[in-house]
Amino acid sequence: MHFNTLLLSAGAISMASAATTPQYLTLGTLNSNTPSGIKTPAYSTISFPITDSKTKATTTCTIQWDWTKTPSSASWTPCKDNSFSIKVSNYKTITDFSLELQHQYNTKTGKKCVNPNGTGCTTTLASTVISKSAVGFETYCGASGACGAVGKKGVKVAVSSSKTGTQK
């Protein structure tokens, strides 16, 4: 009887350690700015560091667009480490938009996929709404007339989907 108890306890420990830990993409301090009263070409910019909680990979993402327009939500913009990419959607202002995040990595090594559409490549997706209340933006304007915002550090964005295998 004592032996069976040990087996159950070991099984419970094994099951507990096999439980899935939620995966997050953590945004560091998010900076956004737009020029004002500047002749074109001038660009609005959103920039932030990002870390994947599962792979511990980290990089910086930056997206720029002509400040007289809105950012394109049609395609992904690669980050410094191009296994990460971002899209801005539902853009209203430099402090009110949605941010879509993607990270593709090799399941075995945790490193960047050589072929993102190949077997063993995991694609994770996450999205969040960026607003003054949601991220805690502080707005500012500089002497040149350029304005922007700084968001708080360490915003965890839960991965909403993850697909491993051959991607098409």
CATH number at residue 72: 2.40.350.20
Model's pTM, two decimal places? Answer: 0.77
The verdict on residue 52 lying in a domain is: yes
Segments forming the whole domain that contains residue 155: 22-164
Q: Is the pLDDT of residue 15 over 50?
A: no
Q: Give residue 37's pLDDT.
A: 64
Query: What is the count of structural domains for the chain?
Result: 1
Q: Which class for 143: exposed (0-12), middle (13-18), buried (19 or more C-beta within 10 A)?
A: exposed
Q: 100 with 161: CB under 8 angstroms?
A: no
Which residue has better confidence, 36 or 9? 36
Q: Is the pLDDT of residue 74 over 50?
A: yes
The verdict on residue 3 lying in a domain is: no
The verdict on residue 9 lying in a domain is: no
